[in-house]
Amino acid sequence: MAYRYGNRTQVMLLPISIEDYVGTEDPVRAYDAFVDALDLSELGIEVEENQVGPPEYDPVSMLKLLVYGYSYGNRSSRKLERALYHNLSFIWLGGGIRPDHKTISSFRRKHRKALAKVLGQCARMCLRLGLVDGNILFVDGSKFRANASKEQTWDSPRCEETLVEVDRRVERLLEDIETIDQQEEGQESWVRMKEELTEQQELRRKVQEIAQTLKGRKNLKKGTAPLNVVDPDSALITRKGETLQGYNGQIVCDGQQGLIVSAEVVNRPNDKQQLATQIQQAEENLGQRCATVVADAGYYSTQTAAQLVDQGTQVILPTPKSATAWDIPESFGKAAFRYDAEQDCYRCPQGHRLRWIKQDHRRSGHVYTIEKAEVCRTCLHWGVCTQSKVGRSVVRLEQEELRETLRKQFEQPEIKKVFARRKAVVEHPFGHLKRNLGMRTFLLRGLLGVKAEFALGATAFNLTRVLRLLGGTTPFLTVLRSG
């Protein structure tokens, strides 16, 4: 069987025009048209042809480079620079310009706020194209690593321990230096100790600065909040049992085609207080109110859910199971206890009265306990309903009516069908971002930087999906121009 061999000396001619480097169906033409359709003034990018000073690269071309690069996992400024020399689609997109990696990095850093707004215009564009209706919105979050190590996270105890250790080392070095004979001054051992002393003194100065900064970072629940000296905006978060330095990425997807209508990054360890904020941002991007919001139990908060319910939005949110010292059968769960609003008391399944005794500030509720503890201890269901010496207690939250409404609503079969769509709609984008685009770790540091990166990744997901939904580049260009 004959083989085919390449011939590096073969004379070939590229097309005379860069325009002919890519075909009419090449996806790069869709990304080019998308950026051309953006309103740069709304993004905050100024285009001034007659500006004073040395010439700069066209901001539109630089924005195209970032959007197209992120869509294919080329997030590094050095990789983008390399692609402008070797990849024909990148050469076509830039029209032959070849900015170096420092210029690309500088543009991205300078326009972080503008890049974070690109997704909003993309969502409104999808709404005009009929690919988004804004009726049902699905919310989810995922953890991403920051461009920083958790080993660089400091708290007050660590600062105090380090300062004590540094002072001990400095004192020992000073004693050793004093014991060296004057004749050895200037020799290698003496010079080495002097250098080590300088290093320890510099370390002490840095730790003192960190300790001073920590005094201004307060966490209401845990006192002084830790500080990462590499990326101060990042936080210690837990992902699948692993503690890492990172951020919490939030996305809101439309129920029609699963397109992302909002993407945000927060430095909060969980999703509990994010529901109303993320939906509000999605509605601002779309310019309209949604009818239904769907989220998992990690977002459960009656305070944030109440904000959406008060404006007429249906909230589909499962109630998390309460953690107890033993498994309580459903027949003796909180739902089995009837609340009497007139007498402000609960009645247990056996008809016994639970009265209000105190306020639970931690859970923002009121505690109701059986009037006489011996009633529970002599009850037929003692040990099943409760094992407490003071008898059974029930906590009534401030939004207890809403909590009960959400619980009963979630038991409806049609509601469960809508909730079952959540995984397929809102978890798929995270898989694309992390696996296909390699966005498990942010490259930029600081909250503004990671927000810009996350918005570019979400925009890349939308454009990839839109091209697939419309059937290719030509249909996309046709619909875009008609829309």
> Are 315 and 336 part of one and the same domain?
no
> Are 399 and 446 part of one and the same domain?
no
Residue 221 pLDDT > 50:
no
Lowest-confidence region among 20-24, 104-108, 462-466 = 20-24
> Are 279 and 414 part of one and the same domain?
yes
| More confident site: 458 or 233 | 458
What pLDDT is stored for residue 463 in this prediction?
A: 95
And the tokens for 449? 């930087």
Does any domain span residue 127? no
What's the number of domains the chain is made of? 4
Average pLDDT in the chain: 85
Question: For residue 439, what pLDDT band results from cuts at 50, 70 and 90?
Answer: very high
Does any domain span residue 466? no
Does any domain span residue 480? no
- Single out the residue of 323, 234, 248 nearest to residue 278, CA to CA: 248
> Are 366 and 345 part of one and the same domain?
yes
Does any domain span residue 478? no
| More confident site: 167 or 441 | 441
DSSP 22: S
Lowest-confidence region among 31-35, 82-86, 195-199, 334-338 = 195-199
Does any domain span residue 76? yes
Amino acid residing at 273: Q
What pLDDT is stored for residue 325 in this prediction?
A: 43
What is the rounded distance in angstroms from the CA atom of residue 194 to the CA atom of residue 187?
A: 11
Residue 438 pLDDT > 60:
yes
Question: For residue 253, what pLDDT band results from cuts at 50, 70 and 90?
Answer: very high
> Are 78 and 206 part of one and the same domain?
no
User: Per-residue pLDDT averaged across 438-458, rounded?
Assistant: 94
> Are 396 and 291 part of one and the same domain?
no
What pLDDT is stored for residue 2 in this prediction?
A: 77
CB 118 within 8 A of CB 459: yes
What pLDDT is stored for residue 324 in this prediction?
A: 46
What percent of the chain stands above pLDDT 90?
44
- Single out the residue of 105, 26, 25 nearest to residue 65, CA to CA: 105
Q: Rank 11-20, 203-212, 347-356 by mean pLDDT and report only the highest.
A: 347-356
What is the rounded distance in angstroms from the CA atom of residue 55 to the CA atom of residue 97?
A: 13
From the CB of residue 325, how many other CB atoms can be counted at a distance below 10 Å?
8
Does any domain span residue 13? no
> Are 103 and 245 part of one and the same domain?
no
From 225, 242, 268, the end of a domain falls on 225
CATH code for position 263: 3.30.420.10
> Are 424 and 303 part of one and the same domain?
yes
| More confident site: 49 or 438 | 438
Range of the domain at 212: 156-225
What pLDDT is stored for residue 445 in this prediction?
A: 92
From 370, 393, 408, the end of a domain falls on 408
SS3 content of the chain, % helix, strand, coil (to 5): 50, 15, 35
User: Per-residue pLDDT averaged across 397-421, rounded?
Assistant: 86
**What pLDDT, in 10s, does the model give residues 465-477?**
999 999 999 999 9
What pLDDT is stored for residue 87 in this prediction?
A: 93
Alpha helices, H only, 215-349: 275-286, 302-310
What is the rounded distance in angstroms from the CA atom of residue 357 to the CA atom of residue 393?
A: 10
> Are 47 and 196 part of one and the same domain?
no
From 391, 408, 425, the end of a domain falls on 408
**What pLDDT, in 10s, does the model give residues 80-126?**
999 999 999 999 999 988 999 999 999 999 999 999 999 999 999 99
Residue 129 pLDDT > 50:
yes
> Are 26 and 100 part of one and the same domain?
yes
Does any domain span residue 11? no
And the tokens for 16? 């005379």
> Are 205 and 242 part of one and the same domain?
no
**What pLDDT, in 10s, does the model give residues 326-359?**
456 777 887 788 888 888 889 898 888 888 888 7
Residues in CB range of 197: below 8 A, 6 or more apart: 170, 173, 174, 177
Does any domain span residue 471? no
> Are 247 and 349 part of one and the same domain?
no
